[in-house]
Structure 1
Amino acid sequence: MSAQTAATPELGGFRLGSGDVGSVGTRSREGLGRRLPESRFEAEIRFHLPRDEAKILYSSIIPEAKDIPSKRTSVSMTLTEDGLNLMIKASDPVALRAALNSFLRFIDSILETLHELDSLVRKH
């Protein structure tokens, strides 16, 4: 049995072979033109923010949400009266985790920048 197909309980039944993750030569497992299969995994995060911050955050993140490189994930965002909703759907938990990590980092970075700029403006 190859390292790629050997099941291990410690890793949830899967073991990756050498070069499967992060290697330049690793081929994508996603076929061309493949549609997102039925989303079995999803996460919704609600950000309670002032309306002006929510609008800036939305306009900053929406280009990323529209141009997801993975066909295993879909992302939608909506402005609400009290902030912003982020919905991520994925065909598998690995894709969901990766999208969550990416979008939460984007959002954290944007909010940190907004707060830093706000504090600089208040000083002057």
Structure 2
Amino acid sequence: MVNVKWKKIVAAASLITLGGALLAPVHQVSAADESWDRIQKSGKIVVATSGAYYPSTFHSEVEGKDVLTGYDIEILRKVAEKLNLELEFKEMNTDGMLTAIKSGQADIVANDYDITPKREKEFLFSTPIKYS
């Protein structure tokens, strides 16, 4: 049982390490634990994204359908699959994404965000997976 829980914690940590694109509230370690518990209970991860930053998050036509895709989006799909969680994408203006994290409307952000000292005081950033 402990090994399974550890694997889930590692998988959750992997989810949060998807580049400077993904963020989560820092406030306290217990808040992170509560967030993970909430995600597990709901069975889904809510992702804030703009859907407008090629190649990380954008729309493409696949078999005649408009599909949200991009490397951040596809990595999230695989991680959620491994965690047996659903993904809910909330497309919004970039300016509203951090507010969505703070207010609990989203669990993570999949977008290109610069890591700044000010943002690092409020949010956990992953190791960047691309530089531009």
TM-score by length of 2: 0.23
Larger Rg: 1
The one of the two structures with greater contact order (alpha-carbon pairs below 8 A, sep at least 6) is 2
TM-score by length of 1: 0.24
